[in-house]
Amino acid sequence: EAGVTQSPRYAVLQEGQAVSFWCDPISGHDTLYWYQQPRDQGPQLLVYFRDEAVIDNSQLPSDRFSAVRPKGTNSTLKIQSAKQGDTATYLCASSPLGGQNTLYFGAGTRLSVL
């Protein structure tokens, strides 16, 4: 079974630039999560979906971050105007219905904002 796929693996931006991250979850997994992991810290939940619906986006900086999962499969996380404080690894994870909340993570996108 293919794992969670994320792209790009790395991104380097100047402040104020925009960037999008893409995630392809494990086939059949209905729940998809985006986590932000600053260097030397644990993953912090930004937003998660069940199918195409947003379940919780309360930790997503809504003025600059947006996330969609239009068909309940792939997802895109976008930062509209990046700041140096956004420097982190962005992890996507998926989980099957009834899967005891076990998360299957992708390798992440490492973002550096200069």
Partner 1 sequence: SQWGEENLQALSIQEGEDVTMNCSYKTYTTVVHWYRQDSGRGPALIILIRSNEREKRSGRLRATLDTSSQSSSLSITAAQCEDTAVYFCATEDTGGADRLTFGKGTQLIIQP
Q: Provide the binding-site residues for partner 1, judged by CB under 8 A.
A: 4, 31, 33, 35, 40-45, 48, 55-56, 91, 93, 95, 100-108
Looking up tokens 């992440």 gives: 108
Question: CB 81 → partner 1: shortest distance, Å?
Answer: 26
By beta-carbon proximity to partner 1, the closer residue of 17 and 87 is: 87
Question: CB 16 → partner 1: shortest distance, Å?
Answer: 28
Separation between Cα atoms, residue 103 and residue 105, nearest integer Å: 6
Cα→Cα distances 44→1, 16, 17, Å:
26, 23, 23
Collapsing DSSP states into helix, strand and coil, what is residue 86? helix
By beta-carbon proximity to partner 1, the closer residue of 14 and 100 is: 100
